[in-house]
Structure 1
Amino acid sequence: MVTVTDPSATFRRVPLPARAPRLIATDLDGTLLHDDKSVSARTVAALDAAEKAGIEVFFVTGRPARWMDVVSDHVHRHGLAICGNGAAVVDLHRGREIVEVRELSRWSAMAVVRALREVAPGVTFAVERTGGITYEPDYPPFFEDPGAVVAPIAKLLGEGGADRHRAGRGPGAEQPVLKLLAHHTELAPDFFLELARRAAGDFAEFTRSSPTALLEVSGRGVSKASTLARCCVARGIAPDEVVAFGDMPNDLEMLTWAGTSYAMANGHAQVRAATTFETLSNNEDGVAVAIEGLLTLR
């Protein structure tokens, strides 16, 4: 294992793989972004240098496409993002256009709702579609989406049959569902995740990226890793040619799929245990520090 010391910002050692990657996949919140959601000049420069060296850069996040302005202003050659934990592929060069969707069926979403209502009374839900988010009256409102529609979950999902007749169809009901969000005010986050997987894992994929008990629910087989793998196959890039960065459980599949993975120093304990290496925290530009080292391998 080769190591490199970055004298310009820290004097700590960051481990490196044996060779440079062909593609870098990085999470955003808690990873590439500082806690204030900014992207440092050092990080912008490192991403640009990677692209100039022939390394593709993918942003891989739980965020929806409409929240990608945080990095789209800094896009140079890198312009593709995998959003919604793998549910959408977005072209940042084309106005955050969604170019691929892997949706959660309404039937599966309602099956999850019913199962979680039984095992976790008090749970509330939101529905993330390609056109925006809607949520139940008791769900914590998103400050980023002040105009979101509020309605009962059956209406938000446009459930079929008699329920559809009674509830009507919610706004944007014809748009694909990217994620179902489930929030609980009392349960511990990791406990809630395991509870949900046991109760409804046959219907959907469950993960989390928030410090609160907020679960993100995707269609079966949909994850950051599976969508990234599809994109890599299309480019003739093998897993061992990918370096991935992340900090939370929704990054785990991607980090274990990639040939080389870095946990952020501020990352969840499960992530830090599962990755190849560890880099500095997000607020210390840990992704940029590692990329600078990777570029010395070319």
Structure 2
Amino acid sequence: MTIKMIAVDMDGTFLNSQQDYDREKFNELYQEMKRQGVRFVIASGNQYYQLKSFFPGIEDELSFVAENGAFVVSEGKEVFTGEINHNVIHEVLTILADFDQGHTILCGKNSAYIAENEPASFVDHGKKYYHRLKKVPSLLDVQDDTLFKFALSFPVEQVTDVLKQLHAALGDKVIPVSSGHGDVDLIIPGIHKAHGLMKLQELWGVKNHEIAAFGDSGNDLEMLKHAGYSYVMSNGHPTVKVAAKEIILSNDENGVLIKIEELIGK
């Protein structure tokens, strides 16, 4: 087994329920990954500026497939940026206005945006995942940014039905994917975590069978199917578990780090 790239989702996978990880253990494994020439990639639906805050001191050595693949940054340099054109943005916002239980954040390269009339509880929820979050009078007014994702939030019990309704309403303008905890992302067709990994593979000459990927939610499916070695957390969604080669310990049991230790033979 030769692993040259390890790609990890964050929420529900690499991070525990306290939104943290065993930093001492990770640092020890990271030094060994560096020694072996194994690339460590963070692949998440979250914002780049939020993701890099979890890795102080080494963030410019790492690679990030952020925003579900719409923004890929490696060693501090931009590798790929997706874009949804403004006409589609307006069409989608008009459709979303009919989903009265939903809340929306519009995600761009420079910042994420939230309407001023959103409740404070949703603004606070958004700030956890979007360290750059600007309030605007209306999402229709956002102009001076490259926009590439919608992040929606619904009551958890509605998500399954909402996903079906969104698929029907949106056609192929954008693709709805579940990212756990009542969150749904609308992503550019064909631009997902696996696409982001492919961009990095081109840079590094890494083959699919040399990748180990870890995830737990619907937005990890393409990445798990793409990687030669795929692992889903025991706390993962049932529909995602069937896509992986192996189900491992949960995010609260250090599942990812224990498996990485095994993979790199430390």
TM more than 0.5: yes
Amino acid at match of 1:246: G
Q: Which has the larger radius of gyration?
A: 1
Superposed counterparts of 1:92-171, under 5 Å: 93-94=75-76, 98-118=78-98, 120-136=99-115, 137-138=117-118, 140-141=122-123, 142-144=126-128, 148-156=134-142
Secondary structure of the corresponding residue to residue 209 of structure 1: strand
Change (3 A) 1:99 1:20: closer
Residue 153 of structure 1 deviates from its aligned partner by 2.7
Amino acid at match of 2:227: A
**Alpha-carbon distance between aligned partners in 1 of 2:263 and 2:94, rounded to the nearest angstrom:** 47
* 1:293 pairs with 2:262: yes
How many aligned residue pairs are there?
Answer: 258
Superposed counterparts of 1:171-186, under 5 Å: 173-185=143-155
Superposed counterparts of 1:177-256, under 5 Å: 177-185=147-155, 188-212=158-182, 214-256=183-225
Superposed counterparts of 1:70-85, under 5 Å: 70-73=53-56, 75=58, 78-85=61-68
**Alpha-carbon distance between aligned partners in 2 of 1:77 and 1:135, rounded to the nearest angstrom:** 28
Change (3 A) 1:146 1:64: closer
CA contact (8 A) 2:111 2:133 kept: no
Residue 122 of structure 1 deviates from its aligned partner by 4.2
Gaps of 5+ in 1: 1-18, 157-172
Secondary structure of the corresponding residue to residue 6 of structure 2: strand
Change (3 A) 1:86 1:76: closer
Change (3 A) 1:183 1:76: closer
CA contact (8 A) 1:48 1:77 kept: no
Residue 36 of structure 1 deviates from its aligned partner by 1.4
Per-residue CA deviations over 1:156-200 (Å, capped at 9, x if unaligned) read 3xxxxxxxxxxxxxxxx2210121123334861122122212221
CA contact (8 A) 1:243 1:259 kept: yes
Change (3 A) 1:181 1:42: same
Amino acid at match of 1:37: Q
CA contact (8 A) 2:106 2:149 kept: yes
Change (3 A) 1:49 1:124: same
**Alpha-carbon distance between aligned partners in 2 of 1:59 and 1:216, rounded to the nearest angstrom:** 17
CA contact (8 A) 1:43 1:285 kept: no
**Alpha-carbon distance between aligned partners in 2 of 1:77 and 1:84, rounded to the nearest angstrom:** 18
CA contact (8 A) 2:70 2:148 kept: yes
Gaps of 5+ in 2: none
**Alpha-carbon distance between aligned partners in 2 of 1:206 and 1:193, rounded to the nearest angstrom:** 6
Residue 99 of structure 1 deviates from its aligned partner by 4.2
Change (3 A) 1:90 1:268: same
CA RMSD of aligned residues (A): 2.3
**What is the identity percentage for the equivalent residue pairs of Structure 1 and Structure 2?**
23
Residue 246 of structure 1 deviates from its aligned partner by 0.6
Change (3 A) 1:20 1:279: farther
Using the size of structure 1 for normalisation, the TM-score is 0.78
CA contact (8 A) 1:29 1:37 kept: yes
Change (3 A) 1:38 1:182: closer
Residue 105 of structure 1 deviates from its aligned partner by 2.0
